[in-house]
Chain A
Amino acid sequence: MKKLVFRLFIFALCFFLLDKAFIPIRNSAPGREVDRRLEMIVTGKIHSDVLIFGSSRGARSVIAKVFTDSLGISAYNLSFPGSDVTFHEYLLRTTLNTKGNKKPKSVILVVDDSDELKVSKSLKFRFDRMYPLVRYKVIREELVNRKEKKPILNELLVLHQLNKSTFLFKQRKFTKNDSIMPCGSMPISHQKKTFNKIYKSQPYTYSKDQELIQKISAFREFKDLCKNNGIQFIVAIPPNFRTVTRGFKDRLLQVMNGYGEVWMYDSLNSVYSNSNYFFDNAHLQTNGSYVYTNELIRYYAKINGLKFL
């Protein structure tokens, strides 16, 4: 019995030392990433006046650089494809809490009318974006808070902080669909092969069915972060290749409870019913993104009394 306990103790000690050998692997992981925007947030390198948050619809539709070119104000796009509002809330919270980041004057949240507040297969909290950055304490703490990792083990073992993606030692590269501009935006200049290009003209009404309380709470927390920090909050609805979702804007205003603005694209603009401006049914391609961003900037300039350069 004593022999077993003694040998287990020696083994545990050796294993503890072996565990520390994984520190260099953990620390080298961020360098292999091609998308460094989350790392910029946690290292305090966000210095823009306007920040754009959202999923792929935010990443593709809003070209942040146009804000600078048109209005002379700095803007940066922090939209992550496949991310949901819980992730956007985390990004904004971390941006505001991290030393070195500049508090933005305005935040634009680009929403997804079918998935923003609802159960969704395609949008989620992007843990996969966080694992390469576990060398940063703030990331490790969030993983523990979200029950991805155990608090004690997380403190004790470097290995417990890692994930299988840490062991993909290949340098990541930009893909055709995931190239990032210096302003953080990710427009696409081609069309999806399976895009059927048939404009759906039948009316579509928003329904509260399958809304998730967690998403609604996250959305409210996102709004409260803006409110409590005196940040202008704009919710932007981008176009689909179909008619406007009726009732969605009202639902957003209801959830926002008096703080912030909801802006929707000009549904009468013929661009939004022309398939040449779309990547697929839910995303614009680059030419459409410029049209949409310019509309957004005109609205932004109007409510802030800004003049075009």
Chain B
Amino acid sequence: MIFNSLEYAIFLPLIFVLYWFVAKKHLAWQNILLLAASLYFYGCWDWRFLFLLSFSTFLGYFTGIRIEMAVATSWRKFWFWLSIVLNVGFLAIFKYYNFFVSSFADLFNSFGMQIDSSSLTLNLILPVGISFYTFHVLSYVIDIYYDRIKSERNIVDFGLFVAYFPLLVAGPIERATHLLPQIQKERKFDYAKAVDGLRQILWGLFKKVVVADGCAEWANMIFDGYTDYSGSMLLMGAIFFTFQIYCDFSGYSDIALGTSRLFGIELLRNFAFPYFSRDIAEFWRRWHISLTTWFRDYLYIPLGGSKGGTWMKIRNTFIIFLVSGFWHGANWTFIVWGALNAFYFLPLMLTNSNRNNLEIVAQGRFIPSIRELFGMILTFFMAVFGWIFFRSNNLHQAIEFIKRMFNKGLFKSPNLPELSNLTIAFIGFFLIIEWFGREQQYALHNFGTRWYTPFRWLFYSFLIVCVIVLSGKEQEFIYFQF
């Protein structure tokens, strides 16, 4: 069951009605209902995945209590590392084992040793959302170990923290310090919040179905047949993918946040208009925020952050970007993408200008300055270039794609199919709305809320019309594979 499916359109109202009408007087019932719904939601992919999710949940629950109860430091360490090793171990086996085996085999083969990697690889299906819920559990265990939080004794509440369906398969990656207190607190229905949640779901659906899936059609066409196209067409393919990945993932996050708001639970913000960033440091503060801050808090700072000398700063920057790239998938393309972003970031960090742009661009104004505009365009195209690696199937394709893009064909007019004009028009519309709403939590947060009701409804109807007309076969969200 995915957010842009008819099944979800039936599932969500049903849970909503049960939650607020049947279970509204008892917090425990509400949590049990949400947990049951979450397990059903996850089981819809493959019921066998539920065993791994349950194991991860019980492991986090049990080791969390043990860490807290342990008197001796050695036992604290033991339970802590047991939890870390098992959680990371499962992630490594399901996600990275085959990659390491084939990479090592390639390495040995290049030295003339004959190793057949196919006999060593495992035929495993990557469980949906494993990277996300593993990180939930890891952050919980780390926080207990460092005495930031108390362990959770209620298994339903803890289970809900790990498996809460809006964020289970593609985040945002929540923290126990943020989500658990909300799960434990009584929740009352708030009309304004519910309407806001619905609005965010609608905007998320528009981004996913209209912009992301529309761009996917052309990006796939161009990336799959990149040898047949001119440089300008390849550039268009990379730009289409740039909008596809953003609208796909931030669309998912909007639907997740909006859904959760319907149940009175606020989730962490995941995107803050990253394509309006004026430098790459700002981009990374606005892109996949929950993952970036996770790595900052649980990896970068423990490694020493930016407190040490220059070499330590460089080392830590590379580690965090390479791990971030590798988190996305077991492929060299993601690692190169991470490394490329580290190279983008380093000059800013070494010149202490990585925190120059903390506020949103043109705050309080409508038109940005020339300098801001230049910064935005440059950062956008740096991101476009990076996404070529992210989208390519392998490094060879990425390099060939770039080589073919930077030739004289780059300056020819792209020969796009007629229907792509509609997608370009939707990208334009989307950018305008995002620009208007860039100072808000999400673009539609305040957009049109003061309009005369029929006009507002007409605007919402327009978005729904676009979503319905353009929804053909359901397209999965890109980040499900991570």
Which residues of chain A from 190 to 227 have any CB-CB distance to chain B below 8 Å in the complex? none
**Could you tell me if A11 and B468 are in contact, using CB atoms closer than 8 angstroms?**
no
Interface-facing stretch out of B87-95, B103-111, B189-197: B189-197
> Bound complex: CA of A93 vs CA of B195, how far in Å?
49
Which residues of chain A from 1 to 27 have any CB-CB distance to chain B below 8 Å in the complex? 1, 3-4, 11, 14-15, 18
A251 interface hit (Cβ, 8 Å): no
CB-CB under 8 A from A152, the residues of chain B are 6
**Could you tell me if B20 and A167 are in contact, using CB atoms closer than 8 angstroms?**
no
CB-CB under 8 A from B472, the residues of chain A are 148-149, 163
**Could you tell me if B470 and A160 are in contact, using CB atoms closer than 8 angstroms?**
no
> Bound complex: CA of A11 vs CA of B460, how far in Å?
10
**Could you tell me if B195 and A4 are in contact, using CB atoms closer than 8 angstroms?**
yes
**Could you tell me if B473 and A15 are in contact, using CB atoms closer than 8 angstroms?**
no
**Could you tell me if B464 and A15 are in contact, using CB atoms closer than 8 angstroms?**
yes
A139 interface hit (Cβ, 8 Å): no
Contacts A3-B191, A4-B194, A153-B6 given: A163-B469 contact, CB under 8 Å?
yes
**Could you tell me if A166 and B469 are in contact, using CB atoms closer than 8 angstroms?**
yes
A150 interface hit (Cβ, 8 Å): yes
B44 interface hit (Cβ, 8 Å): no
> Bound complex: CA of A239 vs CA of B214, how far in Å?
38
A157 interface hit (Cβ, 8 Å): yes
CB-CB under 8 A from A163, the residues of chain B are 469-470, 472
Which residues of chain A from 120 to 172 have any CB-CB distance to chain B below 8 Å in the complex? 121, 147-150, 152-153, 157, 159-160, 162-168
> Bound complex: CA of A121 vs CA of B470, how far in Å?
23
- Could you say which of A1, A14, A153, A157 has the most chain B C-beta atoms within 10 Å of its C-beta? A1
**Could you tell me if B469 and A1 are in contact, using CB atoms closer than 8 angstroms?**
no
**Could you tell me if A165 and B419 are in contact, using CB atoms closer than 8 angstroms?**
yes
B433 interface hit (Cβ, 8 Å): no
CB-CB under 8 A from B22, the residues of chain A are none
- Chain A's nearest CB lies how many Å from the CB of B444? 16
> Bound complex: CA of A3 vs CA of B20, how far in Å?
13
> Bound complex: CA of A159 vs CA of B418, how far in Å?
22
> Bound complex: CA of A167 vs CA of B419, how far in Å?
10
- Could you say which of B195, B422, B465, B469 has the most chain A C-beta atoms within 10 Å of its C-beta? B469
The interface size bin for chain A is: 20 to 34
Partner of B461, one of A1, A18, A150, A166: A18
Query: How does the 8 Å CB contact mask read for B457-482 relative to A, with 1 for contact and 0 for none?
Result: 10011001100111111000000000
**Could you tell me if B470 and A164 are in contact, using CB atoms closer than 8 angstroms?**
yes
- Could you say which of A3, A15, A166 has the most chain B C-beta atoms within 10 Å of its C-beta? A15
Query: How does the 8 Å CB contact mask read for B6-38 relative to A, with 1 for contact and 0 for none?
Result: 100000000000001100000000000000000
* Interface of A: prevailing SS: helix
Which residues of chain A from 232 to 259 have any CB-CB distance to chain B below 8 Å in the complex? none
**Could you tell me if A159 and B419 are in contact, using CB atoms closer than 8 angstroms?**
no
**Could you tell me if A157 and B468 are in contact, using CB atoms closer than 8 angstroms?**
yes
CB-CB under 8 A from A157, the residues of chain B are 468
CB-CB under 8 A from B225, the residues of chain A are 121
Contacts A3-B191, A15-B461, A153-B6 given: A162-B473 contact, CB under 8 Å?
no
**Could you tell me if A1 and B189 are in contact, using CB atoms closer than 8 angstroms?**
yes
**Could you tell me if B191 and A167 are in contact, using CB atoms closer than 8 angstroms?**
no
- Chain A's nearest CB lies how many Å from the CB of B41? 19
> Bound complex: CA of A166 vs CA of B419, how far in Å?
11
Count CB-based A-B contacts (< 8 Å): 49
Contacts A150-B6, A167-B422 given: A159-B457 contact, CB under 8 Å?
no
> Bound complex: CA of A150 vs CA of B418, how far in Å?
27
**Could you tell me if A159 and B194 are in contact, using CB atoms closer than 8 angstroms?**
no
Partner of A159, one of B460, B465, B473: B465
> Bound complex: CA of A121 vs CA of B221, how far in Å?
10
**Could you tell me if A1 and B20 are in contact, using CB atoms closer than 8 angstroms?**
yes
**Could you tell me if B422 and A164 are in contact, using CB atoms closer than 8 angstroms?**
yes
**Could you tell me if A164 and B469 are in contact, using CB atoms closer than 8 angstroms?**
yes
- Chain B's nearest CB lies how many Å from the CB of A50? 34
Which residues of chain B from 394 to 438 have any CB-CB distance to chain A below 8 Å in the complex? 418-419, 422
CB-CB under 8 A from A121, the residues of chain B are 224-225
**Could you tell me if B418 and A168 are in contact, using CB atoms closer than 8 angstroms?**
yes
- Could you say which of B6, B465, B472 has the most chain A C-beta atoms within 10 Å of its C-beta? B472
CB-CB under 8 A from A18, the residues of chain B are 461, 465
> Bound complex: CA of A209 vs CA of B469, how far in Å?
38
**Could you tell me if B473 and A147 are in contact, using CB atoms closer than 8 angstroms?**
yes
> Bound complex: CA of A4 vs CA of B20, how far in Å?
12
> Bound complex: CA of A159 vs CA of B471, how far in Å?
10
CB-CB under 8 A from B469, the residues of chain A are 159-160, 162-164, 166-167
- Chain A's nearest CB lies how many Å from the CB of B355? 42
Contacts A1-B20, A18-B461, A147-B473 given: A164-B419 contact, CB under 8 Å?
yes
Which residues of chain B from 300 to 358 have any CB-CB distance to chain A below 8 Å in the complex? none
- Chain B's nearest CB lies how many Å from the CB of A35? 15
CB-CB under 8 A from B189, the residues of chain A are 1
> Bound complex: CA of A245 vs CA of B418, how far in Å?
36
- Chain B's nearest CB lies how many Å from the CB of A11? 6
> Bound complex: CA of A14 vs CA of B456, how far in Å?
13
> Bound complex: CA of A198 vs CA of B225, how far in Å?
24
User: Which residue of chain A has the shortest Cβ distance to B471 in the bound complex?
Assistant: A160
CB-CB under 8 A from A147, the residues of chain B are 473
CB-CB under 8 A from B464, the residues of chain A are 15
CB-CB under 8 A from B465, the residues of chain A are 18, 159
> Bound complex: CA of A149 vs CA of B471, how far in Å?
8
- Chain A's nearest CB lies how many Å from the CB of B261? 13
> Bound complex: CA of A157 vs CA of B195, how far in Å?
24
Query: How does the 8 Å CB contact mask read for B189-214 relative to A, with 1 for contact and 0 for none?
Result: 10100110000000000000000001
CB-CB under 8 A from B195, the residues of chain A are 4
- Chain B's nearest CB lies how many Å from the CB of A15? 6
Query: Which residues of A approach B to under 8 Å, CB–CB?
Result: 1, 3-4, 11, 14-15, 18, 121, 147-150, 152-153, 157, 159-160, 162-168
Q: 6 A–B contact pairs at CB < 8 A?
A: A1-B20, A1-B189, A18-B461, A162-B469, A166-B469, A168-B419
Knowing that A4-B194, A148-B472, A168-B418 touch, tell me 9 more A-B residue pairs with CB under 8 angstroms. A15-B461, A18-B461, A121-B225, A150-B6, A159-B468, A159-B469, A160-B471, A163-B470, A164-B419
Instruction: Report the 9 A-B pairs with minimum CB-CB distance, sorted nearest first.
Output: A159-B468, A162-B469, A150-B6, A1-B189, A160-B468, A164-B422, A159-B469, A148-B472, A4-B194
